[in-house]
Amino acid sequence: MTQNKIIILRSYFDEMINQKQWDLIPKYFSRKFIGHGTPYVGMGVMTDDSSGKKVTIRAVFPGGPAAGKVMVKDEIIRVFDGERTYETFEELRESLWGQGVLGTPITIWMRRDNIEHEITLKRGLVQSFEYSYDFLESGFREFYKDWPDLKTHLVNAIESGDLVAYHAENQGTNTRYGCSALWAEFGFVHIQGGKITDWWSVEDTFSQFKQLGYSIHEPIIKNK
């Protein structure tokens, strides 16, 4: 009885993540499901490169630096971040130009209604974003285009009431970079009536990015 919710979580990882059975979303997730992201320093936008030709704004998070300045469906033409300009589709899609040090500037050229706009933002703290049940299928399909063979192994889980705390390991090959990676994930899952109602998680993306070939440098901080 006490392992019931852990069994549900383990079965979810096996059937939906490892076997990619997206039609089982109604089996595992409540229609009231909310996914909870983690706070970070950046602009507060989610991009979309699924067209294979251009990078557009998919979502703008309320309260972030981009709110009121960037709109959904804006096309990113180029970005000046620090000492580098990103302007090809591959550079805009694959580079970490959005996140950085709190208060540092980033200049973006966007196309909206066939008119080019230039804005400069200062990175700020973006509070955790949330996504609903309706986002799940498209989110799964988009993410696993890049990780078609991803497998998740549930290393450990602890159940308390309706909450399950877990430690998992993800391993797969990224089709964009042609590199494999293995990284850890930790989270909490709230399960009621046999279905997942809330999910919080943090992944070791630093290790993931390094395995994919990103070069992450130590910043040089000068005293004023």
In a domain, 21, yes or no: yes
Q: Once rounded to an integer, what is the mean pLDDT over residues 163-177?
A: 94
Of 111, 126, 141, which residue is a domain's last? 126
Q: Could you tell me which of 125, 139, 150 has the C-alpha nearest to residue 199?
A: 139
Q: Say whether both 54 and 122 belong to one domain.
A: yes
In a domain, 77, yes or no: yes
| Residue 221: predicted pLDDT | 46
Residue 99 has pLDDT above 70, yes or no: yes
In a domain, 218, yes or no: no
pTM beyond 0.85, yes or no: no
| Residue 224: predicted pLDDT | 41
User: What are residue 78's DSSP bridge partners?
Assistant: 109
In a domain, 217, yes or no: no
Q: Could you tell me which of 17, 8, 10, 12 has the C-alpha nearest to residue 172?
A: 17
**Average pLDDT score, the chain:** 89
In a domain, 221, yes or no: no
Residue 218 has pLDDT above 80, yes or no: no
Q: Which amino acid is at 131?
A: Y
| Token code pair at residue 195 | 């279905």
Q: Say whether both 187 and 199 belong to one domain.
A: yes
What are 133-147's pLDDT values in tens digits?
998 988 888 888 889
What are 111-135's pLDDT values in tens digits?
999 999 999 999 999 887 788 999 8
Of 126, 156, 179, which residue is a domain's last? 126
Residue 90 has pLDDT above 90, yes or no: no
Q: Say if CB 183 and CB 170 are below 8 A apart.
A: yes
Domain that holds residue 30: 4-38+128-212
109: CATH: 2.30.42.10
Q: Say whether both 96 and 202 belong to one domain.
A: no
Q: Could you tell me which of 47, 40, 48, 11 has the C-alpha nearest to residue 28?
A: 11
In a domain, 193, yes or no: yes
Q: How many structural domains is the chain composed of?
A: 2
| Residue 223: predicted pLDDT | 45
